[in-house]
Amino acid sequence: MKWARILLVAVGLAFTPYGVLCLVSPQSVANYTGMTLPNPSALTEVAGMYGGLQIGLGLFFFFLASRKNTVPTGLTILMVLLGSLALGRAYGLFAYGFSTYNFMALIFEGVSTSLAFMALRLIGREAKADAA
């Protein structure tokens, strides 16, 4: 269970500062991702979707890691969200072309999803052993 909580905190630590950067400086994020943000609407979209949402998810992962009984829920949410991102990103890399930024994000999302899956299985085994 301990490393499952560490995984949730680590993902929270990845999401929260990145979200803050996207919120306060959407143009800097756009510069290294290759996006163009030509107007206030585009800047606001990055601030909201990449900033606010990522901050919220990061804080939510911290919260879920803080209580033993919510760790499995956190791992499930992590698996669904980051797994979905990984699938969409993998599609984009094949359909639209390679980029280092997206490839590195795919690695992060794929590894995080795999670790969450393994942690959930380990928690299930521990629960069975405790019940026996």
Q: Are the C-beta atoms of residues 78 and 4 closer than 8 Å to each other?
A: no
DSSP assignments along 52-109, one per residue: IHHHHHHHHHHHHHTSGGGHHHHHHHHHHHHHHHHHHHHHHHHHH---HHHHHHHHHH
Q: Which domain holds residue 98?
A: 2-131
Residues in the chain: 132
Residue 25 dihedral angles phi and psi, to the nearest 5°:
-145, 65
Structural domain total, the chain: 1
Per-residue pLDDT of the chain in tens (132 residues, 90 and over written 9): 799 999 999 999 999 999 999 999 999 989 988 899 999 999 999 999 999 999 999 999 999 999 999 999 999 999 999 999 999 999 999 999 999 999 999 999 999 999 999 999 999 888 777 776
Residue with the two structure tokens 């992962």: 61
Question: Does the model's pTM come out above 0.85?
Answer: yes
The structure tokens listed for 100 are 């280092």
